[in-house]
Amino acid sequence: MSLAVVRSRALVGIRAPEVTVEVHLGPGLPTFAIVGLPDAEVREAKDRVRAALNHAGFEFPARRITANLAPADLPKDSSRLDLPIALGILAASGQIPAGMLANHEFAGELSLTGDLRPVRGALAMALASRGHSFVLPAQNAPEASLSGAGAILPARSLIEVCLYLRGEGPLPRYSGEAPGETVHYPDLSEVKGQAHAKRALEVAAAGGHSFLMIGPPGAGKSMLAARFPGLLPRLDESESLEVAAIHSAAGGFDPARWGQRPYRAPHHTASAIALVGGGANPRPGEISLAHNGVLFLDEIPEYPRSVLETLREPLETGTVSISRAARQAQFPARFQLVAAMNPCPCGYLGHPSGKCRCAPDVVARYRGRLSGPLADRIDLKIEVPALPVDEFTASAGGEPSSYLRARVERARDGQKSRQGCANALLGVRATEAHCTPCAQGEALLRQAIARLSLSARAYHRILRVARTIADLACSEGIAVAHVAEAIQYRRLDAAF
């Protein structure tokens, strides 16, 4: 037989479309060509496959070898096609039977010794290969098994796979389970004082709202942000699969973190591509890696304004579309934005010590680095003032994170049963249906809109925050006190 067909998968964003590897051995001078839009990594498979076959004791055919990667208009990247190409050559040359290839899919990088090395995107490929047995490197098996797809057959070398296809050796189905470790986040009770900020964190966690903390250095902003993930409920099955598929496509998924919300804190020198994703072969950025989790931007005015402006659409839509000349990809990006900043360039505006000497125009330019449209999309803006001496010298106290998390989970459960999502994700019609305040609350909100010159977007966001505050209070309706507290979280809008 001079023609063999092997099934595999490509990776486009977080999708894994099928790739058919067709290997033909023809007459002519010995050559080895790979066609079908392969990139440099795929073209280099020729040398890896040749060395792996020779080292494993197989004969490399001295014929004209053509490996076609179909569909031809789909770009192919990564080294995951090494194993399918090698098996296609062996089947086409009659060194292994081709009968079992039809019911299997294969992916894996080959070392020069024939060992299999892990590849990125194993979970996405396993999700797409439902109905087929999937043969892949042993290191990828725990990740791929999370898909709940067909049989996952881990292998450590090319020889193991060939013996299995010949019927001379077993390739046992992976049956282990990836252990889910309990992450011990720092406890909120370790933060001294800042009762107002802790209350804002509870509201943000309960409704899935974004928030901004403004305060001088050493007030506890970073401590509060680091403890915020400990207030969030665990992910459900579908959310966990979404998170795992994104991290798998990026090549950084750890099965031990299954079911845990991601927490990303990029440095302020991050570029726009690092934040939203991109590249010649589009990969997810920080906002997608924070999907269903938290994105913490410390010292947010220090980020280039052009980088911050890329957050505006994802904050509204929950997705980001990456378009390049030859490739397009869409990644989910439904994250909770947590940001922190100083009140002025020196950081001590309003400090009791009176250290600040920043001129008003300097302060205005500093705050202007965070544009009005982006600031308008942040639900809660709170001040984190410097602590008095008697507070930061006292013993740590306050409610532990577990108490707040219990209240957050109760509020989230109520939101799911009422509307099927967190309050922050409500659309305009759903907001009007589920977030209608009482008459006094409506009158107070109208008055606040006029005095604070708030936008229509801010009006709906205040209603959603008020609905979250009512949920925490186990209230069916939105009372005037709930509206008043929600308005307090928008009183800093004028600063931007």
Check pLDDT > 80 for residue 394: no
At 490, give phi and psi (nearest 5°).
-115, 5
73's tokens: 């208009």
Q: How many CB atoms lie within 10 A of CB 129?
A: 24
Span 20-33, mean pLDDT? 94
Q: CA-to-CA distance for 317 and 335, rounded, in angstroms?
A: 11
Pinpoint the alpha helices (H) of 33-188.
40-43, 45-55, 82-92, 122-128, 141-145, 158-166
Distance, in Å, from the CA atom of 195 to the CA atom of 106, rounded to the nearest integer, reads 55
What DSSP assignment string belongs to 464-478? Answer: HHHHHHHHHTT-SSB
Q: Which of 447, 493, 428, 462 is nearest to 203 (CA)?
A: 462
Position 442 scores a pLDDT of 94
pLDDT at 397 over 80: no
Q: Is the pLDDT of residue 400 over 70?
A: yes
pLDDT tens digits for range 173-199: 888 765 555 667 888 988 888 889 999
Residue among 52, 67, 63 nearest 109 (CA) = 52
In three-state secondary structure terms, 215 is: coil
- pLDDT tens string 48-87: 999 999 999 999 999 999 999 999 988 888 899 999 999 9
Q: Cα(first)–Cα(last) distance of the chain, in Å?
A: 72
Tell me which of 397 and 100 has the higher pLDDT.
100
Estimate to the nearest angstrom the gap between the alpha carbon of 387 and the chain centroid: 35
**CA–CA dist 381, 482 (Å, integer):** 16
Band of residue 350 on the pLDDT scale cut at 50, 70, 90:
confident
Sheet holding 380-383, edge to edge: 263-264, 294-297, 336-341, 211-214, 380-383
A 10 A CB-CB count for 343 gives 22
| Omega before 216 within 30 of 0, i.e. cis | no
Report the pLDDT averaged over residues 315-333: 85
Q: What is the mean pLDDT of the chain?
A: 91
For the segment 407-461, what is each residue's pLDDT rounded down to a tens digit? 999 999 999 999 999 999 999 999 999 999 999 999 999 999 999 888 889 999 9
Residues 6+ apart with CB under 8 A from 257: 180, 181, 183
Query: What's the whole-number mean pLDDT along residues 18-22?
Result: 96
pLDDT of res. 77: 86
Instruction: Give the range among 176-190, 232-246, 290-304 with minimum mean pLDDT.
Output: 176-190
From 35-44, 83-92, 173-182, 300-309, the region with the lowest mean pLDDT: 173-182
Q: CA 413, 290, 492 angle in degrees (round to 5)? A: 80
| Residue-wise burial string across 420-450, b where 16 or more C-beta atoms lie within 10 A, e elsewhere | eebbbebeeebbeebbebeeebeebbeebbe
Structural domains in the chain plus CATH codes: 3-166 (3.30.230.10), 188-418 (3.40.50.300), 426-496 (no CATH)
- Can you tell me which residue has the tokens 């589009």? 282
Beta strand 3-9 with 18-26: parallel, antiparallel or unpaired? antiparallel
Q: What is the pLDDT of residue 396?
A: 65
pLDDT score recorded for residue 147: 82
pTM of the predicted protein model: 0.88
